[in-house]
Amino acid sequence: MPRKTIHRFVPNMAQALEKPSLRWLKSLMRDPNLLHINRRSVSLAVYIGILSAFFPIPGQTLVAVFMCLWLGGNLPIAGLVIWISNPLTMPPMFYLTYRLGSFLLDTEAINFTVSLSFEWFRHVGAQILLPLMVGSLLSGVILATLGYLLVLQLWRWKVLQNWEKRNIERLQLIHDQDISD
């Protein structure tokens, strides 16, 4: 079952919520899918994680947490998946989504260098914000949907494999019993 594989990588959230610093989260965790590993919660967590990773805003993790609380996705898995946008992948990822947004909006992509100042954001940031948002939203929705469908298919494939394996083991057991009789 895929659940066994996932359990190796995800911490035990029930034990983590017993820590004094995290007890306040217990009241938020009414939905069992937020911590349980099943096909629906994991695939939804992958969708939420990928979609949130493509939001070009600070606090992507908070967006993912609120979406998991609202939709019932698995929180730890969404938190892991969101890290596809990390300090190493963000620059190329957002540059490509900016180029996609510029193409879709039929605007000329400008060459720019990032400077973390109010003046830069006021002059250059305003020009790149709309194409960046459009490209990020479209990329996020498409890739999140593909991730969601991939997890559903992989989960189904693994369950069918396990059924076939158990069926072969049962047939082998019956065969061995027939031979010994």
| 86 three-state secondary structure | coil
Percent of the chain's residues with pLDDT above 70? 81
Pair of tokens at residue 22: 């995290």
Closest CA to 68 of 95, 97, 36: 36
Instruction: Please state the pTM of the whole predicted model.
Output: 0.76
CB proximity list for 99: less than 8 A, separation 6 or greater = 109, 131, 135
Q: Where does residue 72 fall: left (phi above 0), alpha (psi -120 to 50 degrees), or beta otherwise?
A: left
On the question of pLDDT at 34 being above 80, the answer is no
Mapped onto helix, strand or coil, the DSSP state of residue 114 is coil
Residue 25 carries which DSSP code? G
User: Taking residues 93-101, what's their average pLDDT?
Assistant: 91
Mean pLDDT of 48-72: 90
Measure CA 116 to chain center. Answer: 29
